[in-house]
Amino acid sequence: MTDRIGQTQEKITSRSAGISPVRPVRERTQLSQEISGHVRELIMSGQLRSGEPLNIDALARDLQTSATPVREGLLVLQGQGFVQMEPRHGFRITPLTRQDIADMFLVQSLIAGELAARAAREASESLLGELTSCQESMRQADARSDGEEMEALNFQFHRLINRAVPSPKLTWLISVTARYVPRLFYASISGWRDASLHDHETIIESLRTQDPEGARQAMISHILHAGELLVSHLENEGFWSTPTEV
C-alpha cells in the first residue's frame, strides 16, 4: 500500500489522535467518505491495480484509523462500482477495462457538451470575463509548474460553464462521471496541461461567438482526449497487469 496519502491522511491522523473508540455517527460518516475518496484516488491514479485485493487492517494502519471506517468507506466504493466484496475473501478492486473508462468519458463528454451548448446560447460578458481570467491564471500556474493550482482552476473553468444555465440533473450526472478522473490530474498525467490550455481557448471562442454546436463539439473533443490520456497513463502505471495475491 502506498504511503502517499496526502491531505486525506493528515485529516485522518489529526482526527484519530485522542478520540475515543466510539465515534459520533456524523464524524464517522465523514471519515468513511474521506477514506472512500482516498482509495478511489489510489485506484484511478493507477496506484492500486484492477483486481487487486484490499486488506482492511493494512489500510487502517496506513491511514492511522480503525477498521470500521475503512470498511464503511469500502462499502461506499462498492456501491459506486469501484470495489467488490467476495465471500470469505474480502474486498477487491473491481476489474475496470479500457472500454469502461472510454465509456465513462464518452458519457461525461456528451453531458458536458450539452451544458457547453446551453452556455453558448446565453453567454454573458460576465461569464466570458470569468472564463478568460481563469484561463490566464491557468497559464501563469502552468509557467510555475503548479499542478495543484491548475487543477483548482480547471475545476473552476468547467464549473462556470456547467452552471451557466441551471441544469441540476445534468450537473449531478456529470459529478458522478467525474469520480473516474484522478484528483491531481494535471500533476500526474503527461500531456494534459498543454492539451487543456489549447482546448479551453477553443471552448471560450465558441462561447464568445455564441456558437452552441461549436461549443458542444469543442467540449466533447476536450473530454474524450482526457479519457485517452488517462487510459495511456494507467497503462504506463501497469494498471491492467496481473495483481500479486497477498
CATH of the domain at 32: 1.10.10.10
Same domain, 82 and 106: no
* Confidence (pLDDT) at 203: 97
Residues 16 and 113 in one domain: no
In percent, the amount of the chain with pLDDT more than 90 equals 42
Domain membership flag for residue 45: yes
Confidence at 28, pLDDT banded by 50, 70, 90: low
| pTM (two decimals) | 0.75
Domain limits at 165? 98-236
Residues 157-181, mean pLDDT to the nearest whole number = 90
Q: Is the pLDDT of residue 144 over 80?
A: yes
Q: Return the HEC string of the chain.
A: CCCCCHHHHHHHHHHHCCCCCCCCHHHHHHHHHHHHHHHHHHHHCCCCCCCCEECHHHHHHHCCCCHHHHHHHHHHHHHHCCEEEECCCEEEECCCCHHHHHHHHHHHHHHHHHHHHHHHHCCCHHHHHHHHHHHHHHHHHHHCCCHHHHHHHHHHHHHHHHCCCCCHHHHHHHHHHHHHCCCCHHHHCCCHHHHHHHHHHHHHHHHHCCCHHHHHHHHHHHHHHHHHHHHHHHHHCCCCCCCCCC
Q: What would the mean pLDDT of 191-210 be, rounded to a whole number? A: 93
Res 151: pLDDT: 86
The mean pLDDT of 212-238, rounded to a whole number, is: 91
Last residue of a domain, one of 93, 114, 131: 93
Averaged confidence pLDDT in the chain: 83
Does residue 2 belong to any structural domain of this protein? no
In a domain, 133, yes or no: yes
Does 162 map to a domain?
yes
On whether both 130 and 223 belong to a single domain, the answer is: yes
Section 51-65 average pLDDT: 88
Say if 3 falls within a structural domain: no
Q: Indicate the pLDDT class of residue 183, thresholds 50, 70 and 90.
A: low
In this model, does residue 25 exceed pLDDT 60?
no
Q: Identify which of 48, 2, 7, 1 has the alpha carbon closest to the alpha carbon of residue 151.
A: 7
* 8: pLDDT strictly greater than 60: no
Question: Within a domain: residue 175?
Answer: yes
Express as a percent the part of the chain with pLDDT over 70.
Answer: 84
**pLDDT-derived band at 191, boundaries 50, 70, 90:** confident
Average pLDDT over residues 112-135: 96
Q: What is the count of structural domains for the chain?
A: 2
Same domain, 76 and 121: no
Which CATH number does the domain housing residue 177 bear?
1.20.120.530
**Is the same domain home to 24 and 63?**
yes
Last residue of a domain, one of 76, 93, 110: 93
Judge if 82 and 116 occupy the same domain: no
What average pLDDT does range 180-203 have in this prediction? 81
Domain contains 60: yes
